[in-house]
Amino acid sequence: MHWRLPHYQRFRRQKQKPLKLIRKKAILNGLVKKVLGEHHGEIKLASGTIITEDNVPAKGSFVINMASISNNDLTDADSKGKLLGHLKSDDFFGVTKYPEAQFTTTKITKAANNSVVVTGNLTIKGITSAISFPATYAVSGNTLTAKAANVKVDRTKYNIKYNSKSFFDAIGDKAIDDEFILDISLVATK
């Protein structure tokens, strides 16, 4: 006589592991380009969680501290202060009214060797829009490291239209690209 497991018991149970973001090791490096130059900066994450299934990222959600926006390329304190003040103003991120942004995954698809395609909802200034980007990851013990480079975010989808050629035809050399670029590096552990 042969015993067979019922259909629902034949599938191996996946091990889900919630991992908490290590804030000090989470980095969002940003690049904003304009006709006459570019600016580099950083934004810090306030919190986040990544859930893995069999050591592969499966879900995640993150809170971004918009008040932490910094600039890495200007050395003059006055110029740096003006830039940061403008980025935090209603022309850009409206940090007083919207101190946080959020990103929540809706789908993570495994790709080739330690790579995934992350799709999710990014909320900036109370406006949510879907984005998708490739990422790499590594798991060592209870720690996951994930990285994504050149993640393009169209600021106009979040009602950030200041000096956008898409909205102001005669802006000339004062135009700022609609997309800003993020390089993301995250470390999460149990």
Tell me: the pLDDT tens digits for 43-56?
Answer: 999 999 999 998 99
Question: In this predicted structure, what is the pLDDT of residue 164?
Answer: 60
Class of 14-189 per CATH? mainly beta
> Residue 4 pLDDT > 80, yes or no?
no
pLDDT-based confidence at residue 133 (cuts at 50, 70, 90): very high
pLDDT in tens, 7-39: 444 444 457 778 898 888 888 888 766 656 787
The domain limits of the chain are 14-189
Q: Can you read off the two tokens belonging to residue 148?
A: 């994504």
Exposure of 95 by Cβ count < 10 A (0-12 exposed, 13-18 middle, 19+ buried)?
buried
